[in-house]
Structures are given as structure tokens and as C-alpha cells.
Structure 1
Amino acid sequence: MKNPTVKKQIEDPEQYSKELLLGILLTIAILDHTRLFFHYWNTNPGKLETTTPILFFTRFISHFFAPTVFFITGTYLFRWSKDKSRRQVFYHMLLLAFLLIVVELLINNFLWTFDFQYRTIGLFIIGALGLSIGLLAFLQFMPKKLLLLFSILVLIFHHSIDGVTVTGKSLSAILWYILHQQKYIPDGERLFIVNYTILPWFALLSLGYAIGHHYQRKWLLTTGLVLTCLFFILRGINFGDSQPWTIQVSFVKTLISFFSVTKYPASIDFICITLGPMFIVLHYIKGIRNKLTDFFVTFGSAPLFTYLLSTFLIHLAAMIGLCFTDISISAMITTSKSYEKGNELSNYGYSLGVVYLLWLVFVFLLYYCCRCYRTYLLHK
């Protein structure tokens, strides 16, 4: 019996390959989220003094997820818009943007915090995607070549304004935080978090949209190799990232320093080392289909559902896990105090070996949930 998850994708190898890549990267993102809740609380994988190669690698491979989501979403939006008028595209994009922002504020924020008072509100990947699609609704009226040029220029040069920082809670300051400056904004018991700044992420989305009509397998490999090589050149001369690499006491630490690129805001080095390999993988996986790829497509064909359900499952499991400790389960309700040193979870956590085992359990549980979800949609 054929897997109903992939039944409708067989005739479209391009869509299948994109969903395959999204599915693989979703499972990696789930690994990083498992680390966040089950590894030692508030551990920074990028801190050279305390990190380990496996901890850094666990975080680093998750970097590929977000750029892939934004770029592939851009290509999806282009394909979807081909048989529609610009006006139809405008209103549909605005509606989609609104829905994603609502999902971010009401659902995703709750799943990360489990706080019914919503004392912590964050702009994460779903909200940033919504804002980016809303902006694209207006800029899609530009000629495709001009939009492509604009996207490339933003990706290349946005790092040049990293030094422009503001403070305070004025409207102009908040708009700047959303555009380019990662910020934690405390306000009494409330905390507002801006992680995904819009400039580079919108540019990735619009890049996918602008080259949608040129999307061909033959240039994926070349572009991917060029971007990957460009990363080593730019990183080698310490250009394009606010965090320069330095020679460390050991080769491994130096390697970690070299690959420790800035995600918030996403630097040009970060974009090159994530987009480049992503293009290469997309080139080679097109046309491949077997039971293993069908497994990952189950996740990639319903990415939003998978992402939200995985966050709920991981957070709930972490809360249940506290029942077997002396720590109150309320400690797993994320508030501004959760980010302070000395909180209840400061000494709580498990080794990375346990994290990886839990991750495998979550992935297989999610597989059956996502398969049932897709089966329901296909038979609806």
C-alpha cells in the first residue's frame, strides 16, 4: 500500500524534492528544539569557552532550516501566483501573512511558553515569514528582474548596517528591532523578543519568488558551489559577519570559531554557508524516491503542522519530565525569569546522548501523527 502522504506528489518531482529537503531539515530543527528543552538550561552552543564539538554541531546543522523555509516558500508563492492577477496575489498574500502572524502570536508563542498570560511574546520564524510575505505582497508589483536585484543587494549589504543600533521602546525603535536589530525588550513581568529580523529573511523569500520562473536543476549545483566557496572566501578574510573568527588554542576550537556565524540578524556569511549546501542537496535529491525519502516527505508536506505539533510535544514532555525531579513543573512555563541566571532550571538538564535518544522518539511519534494528518487531508 502506498503512503498517502506522498501519493499526490509523485507526478511532481520538483515539489517532492523540496518537501523531502524540508522534511529532513524539520527533523534537524526538532533535534535543536529537543536540545533547548532537555539539555542543560540556557546553554550557549556558540560560546567557545564552554561548548563542545558535538554541542556546536547539533546547533550548527539546525541553521539550514530557516533559510530553506524562506527560499522554498518564495518559489511556492511564485508557482501559485502564475495563473492569478497581481491584485489577487496581493490580497491572498496579505491574508496569508495575517494568518501566519496570528498563528505566531496566539499559537506558536503559547507552545514555546505554556503561559496562558502570554507574558513572553516573540517574533520567531512563523511571524517573520508572515511579515515577509506581507511585504512581498506590495513588492511583487516590481518587475521580477528588479526584485531579484533588490533581494541580492539586501542579502549582500544588509550586514553593513549592523553597527546601527537603537535603544528604548519607541515606535521607531521597535520598527528598527523588527527590521534588523535582535532585541530582548523587558517590560515589567513581560518580555518581548525579536529574533528573526526581517531584512535578510524577507530577501531570502523574495529571492525565491523572483527566480521562481528560472528555477531549474541545472543551475542549482553551480550556484550552490559558488555560494559555498564564497563563504570560505568571505569568512577567511572576516568579511560579512559581525562576529569575526580567531585562532584558538586548538584546531577544533578554531574550526568552531570559523563556522560560528551570526544568525540574528542573518549575516551574508550565514546565508552563503546555508543556501550554498542547500542548493547542492536540492540538485542531487531530485528524482530520488524510496521508503526513506517518503518518511521525510511526511514531515515536509505539512511543515507548519509538524513544526507546531513538535514544539507542543517536546515542551509537554519536558514538563512531564520535571515530575520526576524536585523542580516544580511550573518552572517549564517560560517567562522573563527563565532567561535569568539562578532560576529553577539552572542546574537542570541531560547529556546530549539522552537528547539524541529523545529526539529519535519524538521523530517517530511525530511521523505517525503527521501521516494521520495527511491521510485526513487527502480524504477530506
Structure 2
Amino acid sequence: MRVEKNTQRLQSIDALRGLVILIMLLDHVRETFYLHKQVSDPMDIVMTEPALFGSRLLAHLCAPVFVLLTGISAFLFYSKTQSVQQTRTFLFKRGLFLIGLELTLVNFAWTATFPPEVIYLQVIWAIGVSMLALAACISLPLPIIVLSACAIIFGHNLLDSVHFAEGSWMQTLWLILHERGWMEFSGIKLRSSYPVLPWIGVILLGFALGHFFSQKYTAKQRNTYLVSIAMFSIGLFIVLRLINIYGDQPWQHFDAFSLSLMSFFNLTKYPPSLLFILWNVGVGLIILVLFERWQQQQWFRPLVVFGSVPMFFYLLHLYVLKLLYVLAVNIWGLNHGHYFSVDHVWMMWLMSIALSFALYPAVQWFSNFKHQNKQISILKYF
């Protein structure tokens, strides 16, 4: 099954990827310069100001959309090569590459400690492992892939009460798959911040949705199907959330409507609950369809540039944030207990906007370099 020859469509995928990594920048500015008001998962809405809650809620869009697009992009690669083995090899190599980056350059950017004493297995790790899982599954019939994705996404919350004896090999496997916690190997502590099982479901779903980008479907048919799936996903989220018995921690009614609304959208990310996935995948698909219609807008091109080199931007912004934090501490000291932090959420937003403009020239240069030197194979991983 060949992919439709439509560069504008590919630009809409890059643009959505660019949007979510800019939102990710905002969240990482929060994790660097606003840690005196840390947020839990799910958030304590009584203790979290609405502006901070909204910023974190917006950032929830990032990981599910990025993993979904990874699955779609894997299908586009498969459609282009028409080779299961070549696609599997690419996914396997890229997955290992991402895992290696998480354990080394990414972890050092967060901890600034070498050799590492603690390693945080975060989103790049989860994407890497998910790509390895997809590599093993791409030869399966489409109905099996769809059923597997749905079974994982809809069923994994049934496993929330499953636990294993501390220190056992089953607990280690379970911490990797479904439960957030600490492991230790050779004196190094590892934190399974992103249990991977639900993300495997999302990447399988993305690969299945990639079939709508084949020549079998016109752009109009594709958008109709994607919008229908998105509306079903959001509608099911609303119904299940109102029923309030499955898919996430129950929400609460408060005297203040604003707190009730915050509670309704206060979803669990670690690991991502069924309702977390339904809401964010639905919203992401709607934005993807809208981006196909907005490609002539002037603001669209920078998003494409950011999204064309996501790993380069990811590493770049982490090290820039670490450098800025070290400089701020040396100049002004710790102004909020153990942290240097800005005082207001609007300052966090302003820093994020300023950084997006400041980093754009480097991202644009690397994007041009990558596309002008396609013979350098390692560049395709960035």
C-alpha cells in the first residue's frame, strides 16, 4: 500500500510535531524555573493555581501526540519502502538510539552528574521502547494491530491494582511496563517515570491510523475519518468521565465551578490513563486536520521547521535550560528555598516564548543541513 504523494500533508504532520515540542518547551521551563510550586500527578487542584493547572494541562498534549505521530510516521516509512524488514530495521535501530540518548545525553542534561547516580527513564525512553515493540508487530494484519492497540489502551487500567514483591524480577518488569517506581542496578538508581505499556498501545494506534494516509483514501476521506475518530474519542472521554467509575481517578464536585472543571480534566499521566489518552489523542487529531487546512498561513512554516528536527531541538533546549539555570543561580542565588524560580506563571510563559524565538535560527540551520545532507544516515534520527 503506497502513501499518497502530498508534501503538504507531510508538512501538517511536522507542524503538529513542532507545536507539541514548543508546548513541551513551556513544560520544561516550568520544570526548571518554577519548581517551588511543583505539581503532582494527577494535580492537587485545591493547591494549584488555575494558570499553572492550565499550563500543565496543555503540556499533557505533548507525549500522546508525539507517540501517535511516531506511529503514523512509521507507516509512512513502510509505505515508501514497501519493505517490512527495512521498516523493522529502521524502527529497531532508532528505538535503540533513543534509549541510548535517554540513558546518556538526556539524563545528563537533567542531572548534570557523571557518572550518573540516578537515571530517569522518561519520554524518550518510552518512545524508544515503543518503537521496538512496533518493530515486532508491523507484519501483523491490520485488524490484529488495531485490536492490540485498543486492548492495551482500554484495558491497562484494569492492571492498576497489580503489584509484585519488592526486589523481584517481576516487579522490575512491571515497573518498566506499568507502574512508576524505583529500580537499582549496579549501584545506579533508575526511575521508571514513563511506564511503557500504554505508550505501546498509542504507537500501535498511530501505525493503524497511518493507513488513512495511503492512496486508498482521498484527503477529504482521510480528514473525515480522522475527525470522526477524534470526536468519538473525545465523546467517549466525556461519557466515561461523567460516569466516573473507570479510566482514571474519580473527579469531584466543588462549590466553585472552576474547581469542578479543573477536577474533571485532572487526568493521570504516569502511566497515561485511558481517559488521558482519549482526550489528548482526540484533540491532537483535530489539530492535525486543521493544520492541513491552515498550511498557507504565515505562522505555519516555523512550526514545520521545529517539527522537522525534533530530537535536535529536544537536546538543544534541555542544555540551554540547564545553562540558563546555572547562570541564574550564580548571579541571583536561590530565591525560593532550594530553587531559583520566577515568581509568576506569566513569567514562565514569557521565558518560553523568548526561548522559542532565540532557538529558532539554530533549529532552522540544522533543518536545512539535515535536508541538504540526506546521505549522512545518522541525521535521519534527529
The answer to whether TM tops 0.5 is: yes
Between 1:34-43 and 1:251-260, the stretch displaced more is 34-43
The aligned residue for residue 190 of structure 2 is 192
Quick one: distance in 2 between partners of 1:36 and 1:130? 23
Equivalent residues of 2:248, 2:275 under 8 A apart? no
Which of 141, 149, 171 aligns to 2:139? It is: 141
The aligned residue for residue 315 of structure 1 is 322
Q: What is the aligned length?
A: 357
Q: What code does the residue aligned with 1:269 have?
A: L
Which of 152, 160, 163 aligns to 2:161? It is: 163
Q: What code does the residue aligned with 2:364 have?
A: R
Equivalent residues of 1:162, 1:242 under 8 A apart? no
Local SS of the residue matching 1:291: coil
Local SS of the residue matching 2:191: strand
Q: What code does the residue aligned with 1:131 have?
A: V
Which of 64, 80, 83 aligns to 2:77? It is: 80
Which of 43, 51, 57 aligns to 1:54? It is: 51
Q: What's the CA shift for 1:149?
A: 1.1
The aligned residue for residue 377 of structure 2 is none
Tell me: CA distance 1:40–1:214, structure 2 relative to 1, closer, same or farther (3 Å).
Answer: closer
Quick one: distance in 2 between partners of 1:100 and 1:295? 25
The aligned residue for residue 268 of structure 1 is 274
Which of 241, 244, 249 aligns to 1:235? It is: 241
Per-residue CA deviations over 1:216-263 (Å, capped at 9, x if unaligned) read 222111111111111111111113334210112411111111110111
Q: What code does the residue aligned with 2:119 have?
A: I
Quick one: distance in 1 between partners of 2:208 and 2:245? 26
TM-score (normalizing by structure 2) = 0.88
Q: What code does the residue aligned with 1:306 have?
A: F
Is 1:105 the counterpart of 2:98? The answer is: no
Which of 9, 14, 20 aligns to 2:15? It is: 20
Which of 243, 248, 259 aligns to 2:254? It is: 248
Is 1:363 the counterpart of 2:356? The answer is: yes
Quick one: distance in 1 between partners of 2:207 and 2:265? 28
Tell me: CA distance 1:88–1:40, structure 2 relative to 1, closer, same or farther (3 Å).
Answer: closer
Quick one: distance in 1 between partners of 2:264 and 2:32? 27
Q: What code does the residue aligned with 1:66 have?
A: A
Between 1:52-61 and 1:347-356, the stretch displaced more is 347-356
Q: What's the CA shift for 1:282?
A: 1.4
Between 1:253-262 and 1:90-99, the stretch displaced more is 90-99
The aligned residue for residue 307 of structure 2 is 300
Q: What code does the residue aligned with 2:85 have?
A: R
Tell me: CA distance 1:366–1:188, structure 2 relative to 1, closer, same or farther (3 Å).
Answer: same
Equivalent residues of 2:36, 2:337 under 8 A apart? no
Q: What's the CA shift for 1:124?
A: 0.9
Quick one: distance in 2 between partners of 1:315 and 1:189? 25
The aligned residue for residue 288 of structure 1 is 294
Per-residue CA deviations over 1:145-178 (Å, capped at 9, x if unaligned) read 1111111111111111111123523322111011
Tell me: CA distance 1:295–1:91, structure 2 relative to 1, closer, same or farther (3 Å).
Answer: closer
Equivalent residues of 1:24, 1:296 under 8 A apart? yes
Quick one: distance in 2 between partners of 1:72 and 1:327? 39
The aligned residue for residue 24 of structure 2 is 29
Quick one: distance in 1 between partners of 2:304 and 2:139? 33
Per-residue CA deviations over 1:38-91 (Å, capped at 9, x if unaligned) read 114361161123101110000000111111111111111111113343233332
Mind listing any 5+ residue stretches in structure 1 that lack a counterpart? 1-9, 329-341
Quick one: distance in 2 between partners of 1:240 and 1:12? 41
Between 1:84-93 and 1:369-378, the stretch displaced more is 84-93
Mind listing any 5+ residue stretches in structure 2 that lack a counterpart? 214-221, 374-382
Equivalent residues of 1:182, 1:264 under 8 A apart? yes
Identity of aligned residues (%): 27
Which of 211, 225, 243 aligns to 1:219? It is: 225
Is 1:376 the counterpart of 2:369? The answer is: yes
Quick one: distance in 1 between partners of 2:271 and 2:19? 24
Q: What code does the residue aligned with 2:338 have?
A: E
Quick one: distance in 1 between partners of 2:194 and 2:71? 17
Which of 48, 55, 64 aligns to 1:67? It is: 64
Quick one: distance in 1 between partners of 2:256 and 2:349? 26
Is 1:177 the counterpart of 2:168? The answer is: no
Quick one: distance in 2 between partners of 1:151 and 1:283? 22
The aligned residue for residue 149 of structure 2 is 151
Equivalent residues of 1:37, 1:314 under 8 A apart? yes
Is 1:277 the counterpart of 2:283? The answer is: yes
Equivalent residues of 2:20, 2:66 under 8 A apart? no
Q: What code does the residue aligned with 2:177 have?
A: L
Local SS of the residue matching 1:213: helix
Equivalent residues of 2:172, 2:183 under 8 A apart? no
Equivalent residues of 1:38, 1:350 under 8 A apart? no
Q: What code does the residue aligned with 1:356 have?
A: W
Quick one: distance in 1 between partners of 2:86 and 2:205? 21
Quick one: distance in 2 between partners of 1:208 and 1:76? 8
Q: What code does the residue aligned with 1:259 have?
A: F
Equivalent residues of 1:93, 1:137 under 8 A apart? yes
Q: What's the CA shift for 1:343?
A: 7.2
Q: What's the CA shift for 1:27?
A: 0.9
Which of 338, 344, 349 aligns to 1:344? It is: 338
